Structure 1
Amino acid sequence: MAKVLLVDTNFSSGPIHDALLAMGHETHVVGRNPQDCLAKVSRHYWQMDYSDTRLLAELVDRERFDAIVPGCTDVSYASCVQVSQGRYRGLDTREAWHSIHDKAALRRLLAELGLPAPGRFTATSTESSDRLIVKPVDAFSGKGTTIVPNGDPTALSSAIKSAENASPTGAYLVEDFVEGQLTSHSAFIRHGRIAHDFFVREDGTANPFVVDTSHVLPDIEPTIATGVRSAVEQLAEHLGLVDGLVHSQFITKGPDFWLLEITRRCPGDLYSQLIELSTGFPYAGAYAMSFLGEALPAQDTPARFAHVVRHTVSLDTACDLAHVHFKRPLHLERWTPLALVGDRVEPSPASRVGVMFCRESDQASLAALYERFLARDVYEIRSA
């Protein structure tokens, strides 16, 4: 049994916490909010802002943890890398982490390796065929991200200010806005090669820059699958990435794809449960194993597939929550509530009502339900 620190108390890290306990480890959690899910249920909770790496390092050294496991936030993984300094398993070097976490550094790396990514521009050089997108290099959940018409200097200047304000470092990117289908790729690598992977369709309905609806793809265009897998393995070899999860997002259009973001932490909003419910693969447990020095299984688990949609119930305008009115019957596989009656629910991504997993009997039925989610025609959120 190991003494493990999970650096996150958010509900999305709950499956990781459960997996660690199921493995028999003494599991501690750290986070600043005592009202967070894991802060309330864990037997070993440390109240602390883990972005303060000095305090986190003091806790790690004092308690002599055998392993530290990042949760489902970028800050969590960054803090673990800073504190580890090469002492703990499953964590990349600072240099490798920066190369994929910082969007500007990632774009430079992709260009160096000849991998597909949106075209980059400066504030004064924006030769693009249509529209531009401006985003912070180190923010998340669409914060500070704006699409602007090419050739509109006023809109571009405003978008840059928004990105600068949302960035902890004041740094931003100006890129070609590539239209297409957002897709994610979750790959578990072993010795620089992919051992298990999953492709997921992703969409945002309440906020175009925040994923709230998704499902595992039972198949994907073979040329795209091959290209994305090859890109991940190239990056792993070039950066010397340690064994574990490499999660990426990319845009597809026809046979082409463009890489957008790459992370090494577990995705949020119970993404791990979407994979587990759809395929039976123990995603949260596999994620935790790399930080414990345990090898991933050599072979895939027996194939099975369930038709499951994950949807985060959220709003594009604020309201005081009364109830959720459903417009059609649903096979609700799982529901995780995140708001109470009377709570003020702010627009996405500031707050969410809950996360649901809905099951259908076949792919055609799943596709029909998915379209209704995209049209926001499955439920209504009523205001108090």
Structure 2
Amino acid sequence: MAKVLLVDTNFSSGPILNFLRNAGHTVVFAGGNPRDFLAKATPGYQQLDYSNPAALADLCTRLGIEYLVPGCNDRSYYSCAEVADRLHFPGIDSLYATETINHKQKFRSFAQGEGLSVPRVFNADETPNCHVIVKPVDAYSGRGITVVQAGNEAQLKQALETARAESKSGDCLMEEFVDGQLYSHSAFVVNGRVLQDFVVIEHGSANPFVVDTSHIALDFPEDIHRRIRREIEHMAQSLRLCDGLIHTQFLLKGEKFWLVEVTRRCPGDLYSQLIELSTGFPYVASYTKGFLGRHAAPGPAKQQFILRHTVTLPHEGLLQHLHFKHPLHLERWVPIASTGDLVAPSPAGRIALLFARCASAAELQTLARHAVNRQLYTFNG
């Protein structure tokens, strides 16, 4: 078996590590925080700031790494792309494709040139006569995002300053604000064609720009699903993307959709487990195989009604307990914070992830509504 380096130590990468080890590989994993989940819980940890691609490449050479697997954040994938550009690991996109996808301004420019469905973009010196959303070009998890009312120059100036302050490059994106429902489309692509895909409906209850509640979309319109597939395939072929996962967030309003974020790495907050519990599809195995020089394989999907919810707060709070106001079948509970911890507001702080099993679609929708309306539990109540 091979020697594999997993570039992440967050708990969301735990299923990736388990798959690799169960397949018989020797796995080491890198991250800068020795208190992170994988660093504490299992042997094989290499303390390394993987945002430094030269240090990551040196580690690969020194340890004789045969395969490089990105974890569940954009920085991990970007660093892997920089290393693969020199050391030629399989399954990782070119630097050009990686930059095009991960840099919000570059992605919008590419998408507009290719005729893909994205929100209208404005220059930073414009004052649009419509509501706009301003965001850093290279930040994530809702950081630095502001919705600005039409024509409000003072608010727009502040929003631009906030976004630039959160951006590593000091740059930001201003685009038309679309008041639609957020979804994600997670597709495994082989030779530029979608092999298997899933649509998930997503909500932010504690922070409108951070997803904390999601489940497989029920009765998603097939025509819109086909159109989204076509755009993902067009993008994969145009950028010559490697076989593997393409994970996209999009907004839907009526019959129209807009692509807003695209990534090639595994989504965080155990999104992989939502798909596996809901459908039985081996999401983690399919994701990881691409970096081992293998293809994902299509499989029949079962239907289970599973809700994923990240327990977070809209404000700071000292954790004592949660009081649940509605009964639920708890499939999994993944604790993150401990009693007595001072929990920061979303997106900085998280208490736990829960996966709840429901008996029917109606029960799932009811439970999701309670979570989205913040009626599922009370904090220290």
TM-score, L = length of structure 1: 0.97
**Shift of residue 303, structure 1, vs aligned partner:** 2.8
Q: Distance in 2 between matches of 1:18 and 1:219?
A: 33
Deviations 1:153-191 (A, max 9, x none): 000000000000000001101110001100000000001
In the alignment, structure 1 residue 59 sits paired with structure 2 residue 59: yes
Matches within 5 A, 1:159-174: 159-174=159-174
Question: 2:288 is matched with which residue?
Answer: 288
Q: Is the contact made by 1:28 and 1:42 (CA closer than 8 Å) also made in structure 2?
A: no
- Do the aligned residues in 2 keep the contact of 1:223 with 1:255 (CA within 8 Å)? no
- C-alpha distance in 2, partners of 1:244/1:285? 11
Partner of 1:98: 99
8 Å CA contact 2:287–2:296 kept in 1: the answer is no
Asked if 1:5 is matched to 2:5, the reply is yes
> Contact conserved, 1:3 with 1:26, CA < 8 A, in 2?
yes
Indicate the residue corresponding to 2:111 in structure 1: 110
| Corresponding residue number in structure 2 for 1:330 | 328
Deviation string 1:44-76 (CA, Å, 9 cap, x unpaired) is: 110111111121111011011110100001000
2: CA distance, partners of 1:368 / 1:114: 38
Kindly indicate whether residue 146 of structure 2 is the aligned counterpart of residue 146 of structure 1. yes
Kept in 2, the 8 Å contact 1:221–1:255? The answer is: no
Residue 219 of structure 1: CA displacement? 3.1
Which residue is equivalent to 1:309?
Answer: 307
TM-aligned CA distance change 1:365 to 1:371, over 3 Å: same
The answer for the alignment partner of 2:346 in structure 1 is 348
Contact 1:73 1:268 in 2 (8 A): yes
Q: Which letter does structure 1 place at the counterpart of 2:52?
A: D
| Alignment map for 1:222-237 (pairs within 5 Å) | 222-237=222-237
- Aligned mates of 2:127, 2:291 — CA distance in 1: 43
What's 1:375 paired with?
373
In structure 2, how many angstroms separate the alpha carbons of the residues matched to 1:145 and 1:224? 28
**How much has 1:218 moved relative to structure 2?**
3.9
Conserved 8 A contact 1:17-1:27: yes
CA deviations 1:237-275 (Å, max 9, x no partner) are: 000000000000000011110010100000000000000
Shift of 1:302: 2.4
SS at match of 1:85: helix
TM-score, normalised to structure 2, is 0.98
Matches of 1:81 and 1:123, distance apart in 2: 30
Aligned 1:168-317 pairs, distance under 5 A:
168-297=168-297, 300-317=298-315
In 1, are the aligned partners of 2:243 and 2:290 still within 8 Å (CA)?
yes
Give the whole-Å Cα distance in 1 for the aligned partners of 2:302 and 2:134. Answer: 41
Distance 1:237 1:303 in 2: 26
Q: Distance in 2 between matches of 1:111 and 1:254?
A: 21
Bigger mean CA deviation after superposition, 192-201 or 374-383:
374-383
What's the CA shift string for 1:113-152, capped at 9, x where partnerless?
1111111112332434x31100011100011000010101
* Residue type of the alignment partner of 2:320: A
Say what the alpha-carbon RMSD is for the aligned residues.
1.0
| 1:205-248 CA-partner distances (Å, limit 9, x unpaired) | 00000000000124311221011100100000000000000000
Aligned with 1:325: secondary structure?
A: strand
CA deviations 1:16-56 (Å, max 9, x no partner) are: 11111111111111111111111122321101111111211
Establish whether residue 137 from structure 1 lines up as the match of residue 102 from structure 2.
no
Count matched residues.
380
Gaps of 5+ in 2: none
Contact 1:98-1:105 within 8 A present in 2 as well = yes
User: Structure 1 runs of 4+ off > 3 angstroms?
Assistant: none
| Aligned-partner Cα distance in 1 for 2:267–2:276 | 13
Alpha-carbon distance in structure 1 between the residues aligned to 2:218 and 2:362: 12
Letter in 2 for 1:339: A
- Give the counterpart letter for 1:44 in structure 2: G
For residue 42 of structure 1, what is the aligned residue in structure 2?
A: 42
Q: CA offsets, 1:255-310, max 9 Å, x none? A: 1100101000000000000000000011111110000001221xx32231100000
Q: Distance in 1 between matches of 2:104 and 2:169?
A: 12
CA distance in 1, matches of 2:234, 2:300: 28
CA distance in 2, matches of 1:107, 1:127: 17
Identity %: 48
Q: Which moved more, 1:232-241 or 1:33-42?
A: 33-42
| Cα distance between partner residues in 1 of 2:243 and 2:80 | 16
2:364 corresponds, among 358, 363, 366, to 366
